Structures are given as C-alpha cells and as structure tokens.
Structure 1
C-alpha cells in the first residue's frame, strides 16, 4: 500500500489544497542525489513517479530500500530537525513533489487543526514504515501483515483521491 495514503488520509481537503499550491514539482534524472547523508535538508518530498534508492553512503553504498510512487522522503529529518543518516538517490528518472520546511512550519504555527492532523498523520506513516521494516527483519506477525485500523481505513479512500489530485496537478506543471 502507498504509505502516503496514511498521511493524506488524515488531512482535510483544505490542507491538501494548501499543500498543492505551496509545493512544487522536481524532475530528477537517474543518479541525482536528492538527499545527502549528514547534510541538513529543507524540504519534505512525496515520490510521484520513478524510483529512489535509500543508500548507506558508505564504502559499498549499499541500497537499503527502493522507494516508489506514494512514498514520503525526508520525514525523519523534518520531525527531528537532524541531518539524515542515509542518502537518497534517483535510481530511475523520477518526479517528486517538494514542499519546504519553512512553508510547513508556517502552516503548523498558524493552523492548529493542521498541526494536529499533520503530526498524527506523520505518526501513522512512521508507525507503518517501522512495522514493515520489523516484518522484513522477520520479527513481525504474518497473520497481522495486512490488518489496518478501520478508523484509518475510512480515510484511505479519500487519501487515494487526494493523491490523485496531487498527481494530476503536477503532471500539468
């Protein structure tokens, strides 16, 4: 499942419209370094198309994960205000939606409903990512792999529509 749905499902239509109008599209060529390990980043990204590789940036530059459409990138550095511990490189030509930390922080400071929804959405997104990582390491419970809280499921259908809006908007830019 596209994890951006956990995120967008918790925001309202006004918030998604605000994000669409305050973000921009970036087209990345294969090999482009979107995020460098240890260097602060000033934006949050959503992968619209293509594929990004999460790399250790060590001697072997091992690929830890591949991220495709619907993934959020830069969320940990956004939450913690710390530089990333990995690099993110375009494995294929890709398109990402980018919104600056400055814009998000302004909205967070002026709209308490958005603030509450944004951080709850981030918590759901990060929880899902951690659960998937735990499963991949062999510590998860296979019977519960596809279980989703029904309260969250209600927002997923709306989130799919909202992600479609973002894709549509930035395919025309």
Structure 2
C-alpha cells in the first residue's frame, strides 16, 4: 500500500479526480493475466484489492514478487514505451483501477503541472521499489528502510484519503 501512497501523494486533488473520471475498474479472476511478458500494454494500473504475482517466466509457479492493494503496475512500460519484461498474473480475485496511456499523455500535453507531478510521483515510486529490492538482495541499509523525506511524508498523509476515495468510487461501479 505504501507505494501507491508515494504515487498519489504527489498528485493534487484535481489530478486524482481527473484520474477517477478517466479511468475504469477492471475485475479479474484467479489465473487471469493483467500483463503478458513481451506484449505491449496501453494502461497504467493500481491494484484496488486482491493479489497478483509478478513472474519472469511463463510458468506462474516461478514468481519473483507478490502485489496487493495499493501497488502501481505497468509504470516501467509507461515510462519507456517498451513491452514488459515480466508477466503479472492474478492469484486471488482482484479489482484493478486502469487508466489509458493515451488519456494520461493527452492530459500531460495540456497540463504541465500534472505532467511534472505525475513523473515525480513515478520517480518516487520507482525509487522506493528499487530500495526495497536492494534491501531484499542484502545490499541495503535496514535502518533506513522506512525513512522517508519530510516533503514526501506530507503528500503521503493526503494520499491515504485519495486511495480511499478511489476504492469508494469503484466499489459503487
């Protein structure tokens, strides 16, 4: 959940409301694939509920990570416009918020503040994920694992209510 809070915490309320109006809910069942390795994706996703597995091979028994509520998915392909290097498979029934790359890109063309906030949010999110991976590999500093810059913490406090708003909006759909 913490990672989505990093992401949502850097956007303002108008940005989040815009995302709510332009995104949609996707309900997936166990075994469904949200992302297929090597196949281009056209959306950015936030896991609302459920569980997904990140798998480097086509064999879902060999997964490298588990994702739950609050995780952002598809961000690397969004940034690089390259096909994903992993598959993401649903391991428990899941609800996913999705918003298309085209809609996000169109908004970025007309709203420089959104563009700056969005890319900063992705940068913080990816930095946090890289630190966690480094720690899991034994090269990080465990004492610093939960340290967060004060400016980021201010946004994280608001992000919890934004994530709740997203959950509430799509529980009605």
TM-score by length of 1: 0.98
- TM-fit CA distance, 1:60: 7.2
Q: CA RMSD in A?
A: 1.0
SS in 2 for 1:164: helix
Q: Which residue of 1 aligns with 2:27?
A: 27
- TM-fit CA distance, 1:59: 5.6
- TM-fit CA distance, 1:61: 5.2
1:50 aligned to 2:50? yes
Partners in 1 of 2:59 and 2:53 — Cα distance? 16
- TM-fit CA distance, 1:164: 0.5
Q: Which residue of 2 aligns with 1:108?
A: 108
Q: Which residue of 2 aligns with 1:65?
A: 65
Q: Which residue of 2 aligns with 1:77?
A: 77
TM-score by length of 2: 0.98
Gaps in structure 2 of 5+ consecutive residues: none
Contact map agreement 2:45 2:96 (CA 8 A) in 1: yes
- TM-fit CA distance, 1:143: 1.1
- TM-fit CA distance, 1:56: 1.2
Gaps in structure 1 of 5+ consecutive residues: none
- TM-fit CA distance, 1:2: 2.0
SS in 1 for 2:139: coil
- TM-fit CA distance, 1:58: 4.4
Instruction: Output one character per residue of 1:102-147: Cα deviation in whole Å (capped at 9) or x when no partner.
Output: 1000011110000000000000000000000000000000111111
TM-aligned CA distance change 1:106 to 1:146, over 3 Å: same
